[in-house]
Amino acid sequence: MNASKSTVKSAAKRSGMSRTTTTRFAFTGNRSASNKTPREINRNLVFNLIRTRQPVSRADLARLSGLQRSTVSLIVEILIRERWIFEGSTGRLPRGRRPTFLHLNDQRAVVALDIHTSQTTVAVVDLGGKIVAQNIVVLPDDPRKAVTTIVREVKKVLAKNDRSFDGIGISVPGRPEPNPGHPVFTPRLKWSVVDLQTRLLRATGLRVKMENVANGCVLSEVWFGDSDGVHDLVVVNVSEGIGAGIFVNGRILRGKEGMAGEFGHIQIESEGPSCACGGTGCWESFASNRAGLRYYQEMSGKMAPSFEALLRLALSGDAVAVAAIEKMSQYLGRGLRMVGAALAPTEIVVVGEITNGWYLFGPTIEAEMKHNSLPGSPRLRPSVEASTARLRSAVALVMNEGSL
């Protein structure tokens, strides 16, 4: 009704005035915030700081977070009551009153499963990412027996380790999108991950979370990596196939039905070997471990028993093995350039067996990646201890509510 009141006379002159209203609008999602919201946010913040900086005092937390000491104290009290952390000693000593140091409660742990096509690692990982126990199991061929074996091993490890278990985190090849109704894409497994999930839940009563290998490594990197301000990161997993985990804007990019990051099935040549996905010329048929094995066979006429064996050959000086992996590395680099152009992450981390020969093939991969690349080309580095990363991801999987 009083719209006439808001008539503006001279637009150009008024423009200066309208700038006094500094507030603008952003998309903050479509969930409303209550007066409990700040506590939720700050609780997360404080917990993550304790996780990454432990041992740490309340005063330190206040300085790191920007919150008042009193607020930090209240939040810490809750975290202690809920057994996420506890008070302990040892740490940097300041001049004045001795601080009480806070530690992550490493009595809390998760069961971690790192599933490969043939073997599976069952482990216990504590809240701080330490691998407390570890057990490699070779699975039987029969799908039913495979699942039963895993369940048995999990129960064994639960009984043996006297901890408070929060859940089970599983790393699988493929895309086990957890939303109901959505299909599960795990072409390399002979048995059903959904089946495993329900049977584990029934057998243990624990929450079970599954995740793609590459996404898992991303979570590990983000939770346990020493880099603080990780905002962009792509993990490329090179094994039998190639898949990527994409971390941008503080979250994993999942995409429809969890299929984001399937760079391995992007066609990089119109002609090429046919791929399991039905297409031809997919990146992974040029740059995966299986491609390396194929090149070796083509070059030498002989067949290497496994990629690990081929890599050992190359590292011990076999020229043909080197040439085969070199060719694979070139294609790897070319594909990584594609990843860089698509996403422009600050960093690409390569996970897979080839990282064991990084000093030999890393330069080739990187050179090919940087060749003719656009500005903003990412840093490239091999993952340190991929197995650890995959197991550690279980902690993040089970604990993580939001950015899962």
Site for DNA in 97-116 (CB under 7 A): 97-100
The window from 1-9, 91-99, 353-361, 381-389 that contacts a second copy (CB under 8 A) reads 1-9
Residues 34-53 that bind DNA (CB under 7 A): 34-36, 38-39, 42-43
Q: Which of residues 58-97 bind DNA (CB under 7 A)?
A: 58-60, 66-71, 73-76, 93-97
The one among 56, 213, 239, 265 contacting a second copy by CB under 8 A: 265
- Report the partner that residue 119 touches, choosing among a second copy, DNA, none (CB closer than 5 to 8 A by kind): none
- Judged by beta carbon distances under 5 to 8 A according to partner kind, the member of a second copy, DNA, none in contact with residue 59 is DNA
Q: Which two tokens stand for residue 392?
A: 């550690």
Q: What is the DSSP letter of 269?
A: -
Nearer to a second copy, 44 or 306 (CB): 44
Calpha distance 110→203 (Å, rounded):
15
Q: Closest CB to DNA among 92 and 145?
A: 92
Question: From CA 31, how far away is CA 37, in angstroms rounded?
Answer: 11
From the list 385, 366, 373, 302, the residue with the least C-alpha distance to 343 is 373
Q: How far apart are CA 148 and CA 153, in angstroms?
A: 9
Number of residues near a second copy (by CB under 8 A): 118
* Contact criterion met (CB below 8 Å) for 216 and 230: no
Q: Which is nearer to a second copy, 31 or 95 (CB)?
A: 31
* Nearest distance, CB of residue 106 and a second copy, angstroms: 10
Backbone angles phi, psi at 29, to 5 degrees: 85, 180
Residues 297-356 interacting with a second copy (rule: CB under 8 A): 334, 337-339, 341-346
Q: Whose Cβ is closer to a second copy: residue 196's or residue 310's?
A: 196
Q: Tell me which residues in 113-172 interact with a second copy (CB under 8 A).
A: 155, 158-159, 161-166
In sequence order, the β-bridge partners of residue 113 are: 122, 170
Distance CA 310, CA 300 (A): 12
Residue the block writes with tokens 């790192």: 114
Min dist. Cβ of residue 29 to DNA (A): 14
Residue 56 bridge partners (DSSP): 102
- Rounded to an integer, what distance in angstroms lies between the CA atom of residue 397 and that of residue 402? 10
Which are the contacts of 75, defined by CB distance < 8 A and separation ≥ 6?
A: 39, 42, 43, 46, 67
Contact 164, 170 (CB under 8 A): no
Closer of 46 and 214 to DNA (Cβ): 46
- 185 in contact with a second copy (CB under 8 A): yes
Tell me which stretch binds a second copy (CB under 8 A): 64-72, 141-149, 194-202, 357-365.
64-72
357 binds, among DNA, a second copy, none (CB under 5 to 8 A by kind): none
For residues 56 and 101, is the Cβ–Cβ distance under 8 A?
Answer: yes
Closest by CA position to 365, among listed 296, 230, 373: 373
- Cα-Cα-Cα-Cα torsion 271, 274, 276, 278, nearest 10 degrees, comes to 70
Q: Name the binder of 263 from DNA, a second copy, none, CB < 5-8 A by kind.
A: a second copy
Nearer to DNA (CB atom), residue 99 or residue 225: 99
Q: Which of 120, 196, 213, 263 binds a second copy (CB under 8 A)?
A: 263
Query: Is 242 one of the binding residues for a second copy (CB under 8 A)?
Result: no
The site for DNA (CB under 7 A) is made up of 32-36, 38-39, 42-43, 57-60, 66-71, 73-76, 93-100
